[in-house]
Amino acid sequence: MLKNLTERRKQRNWSLQETADQLGIAKSTYAGYESGYRTPSLLSLAEIADLFETTVDSLIGRESTKQERIEITDLNLSPYQLSLDQQLLSSDEIIDIIAFLRTKRTLKSSE
Amino acid sequence: MLKNLTERRKQRNWSLQETADQLGIAKSTYAGYESGYRTPSLLSLAEIADLFETTVDSLIGRESTKQERIEITDLNLSPYQLSLDQQLLSSDEIIDIIAFLRTKRTLKSSE
DNA sequence: GAAATAGTCCGCGAAACGCGTATGTCTATT
DNA sequence: AATAGACATACGCGTTTCGCGGACTATTTC
């Protein structure tokens, strides 16, 4: 069940047919998504998100977790960049931090 | 095709079986997602995103245009927490990082 | 009212899913 | 060498769900 799909479309004054045409699918298919009778393929879902300028997470109603955990080793896979004193951390600095922290944690655990 | 699914799992040192168990699906099903041979249902996809603490958009490779900058000195004011190897950084560790990096930067700039 | 437009519902054939099972690889043990 | 266990990969089946075209209904326009 996609969230607010009808509202998004109506805000743009698009008909079911116009919207379906833009997505390259049948009108009845698109209508099925709005009514919840059908679930789009992932590809279609991404296209719908593009068309309505939103995220897939938003369309499927996934709440953004309040306290978001960022794994330092995954930084390059994430949409985040760390900075210190307004200066972005270089990848070398990130590597240094990882090594530094791991060393500290090893020493700490052997006490 | 889900992005970096294998890498995400391996970083957590989970086997295919463990991961599938957490998701409540068959191992071969989960393996199919990693290899790209199968596409999960939306419900499963949301669960996978939850498990790996990421967004569906990220999993399907929709680029988030936001490259969000996180200032380390402001971490306690932000909705983010940093972790290393799945273990949250303590406030002492954050302080250590700040000191460590500032020292490195000072040395670097005096060369 | 008639015609055009927009929205809803249905059932079919095709596609894709989740599953259990079989097989392969690697490591450790006997 | 043979065996066992853990993990990963591949396959094919039955079931489910999809996208589609078209029929039908509702709304708008003239």
**Per residue in A67-76, pLDDT tens?**
678 889 888 8
Q: Please give the Cα distance from B65 to A60 (Å, whole number).
A: 19
pLDDT (0 to 100) of residue B29 = 92
pLDDT digits over B46-85, tens only?
999 999 988 888 888 886 555 677 889 888 767 788 999 8
- CB-based contact, B76 to chain A, within 8 Å: no
Number of domains in chain A: 2
Domain that holds residue B18: 2-59
Q: Does A76 contact chain B (CB < 8 Å)?
A: no
The DSSP result for B44-58, as a single string, is HHHHHHHHTT--HHH
Residue A6 lies in a domain: yes
Q: Are residues B75 and B48 in the same domain?
A: no
Q: Which helix (H) or strand (E) holds B81?
A: strand B80-84
* Domain match, A46 and A85 both: no
Instruction: Write down the mean pLDDT value for chain A.
Output: 87
Identify whether residues B6 and B40 lie together within a single domain: yes
Distance of alpha carbon B53 from alpha carbon B92, whole angstroms: 24
Mean predicted confidence (pLDDT) in B7-17? 88
Residue B84 inside a domain? The answer is yes
Q: Looking at the structure, tell me whether residues A74 and A53 fall in a common domain.
A: no
Q: CA of B41 to nearest chain A CA: how many angstroms apart?
A: 8
Chain B interface includes A62 (CB < 8 A): yes
Across the range A42-48, mean pLDDT stands at 91
Residue B31 to residue B22: CA distance in whole angstroms = 14
Task: Say if residue A46 is in the same domain as residue A81.
Answer: no
Cβ–Cβ below 8 Å for B62 and A77:
no
Yes or no, beta carbons of A68 and B49 under 8 Å apart:
no
Using C1' positions and the CA of B25, the closest nucleotide is C18
Three-class SS state of B7: helix
Q: Tell me: do A81 and A41 sit in the same domain.
A: no
Question: Is-contact B40 A60, C-beta < 8 A?
Answer: no
Q: Are B46 and A60 in contact (CB under 8 A)?
A: yes
Q: Are A14 and A7 in contact (CB under 8 A)?
A: no
HEC letters along chain A: CCCCHHHHHHHCCCCHHHHHHHHCCCHHHHHHHHHCCCCCCHHHHHHHHHHCCCCHHHHCCCCCCCCEEEEHHHHHHCCEEEEECCEECCHHHHHHHHHHHHHHHHHHHCC
Cβ–Cβ under 8 Å, residues B49 and B59: yes
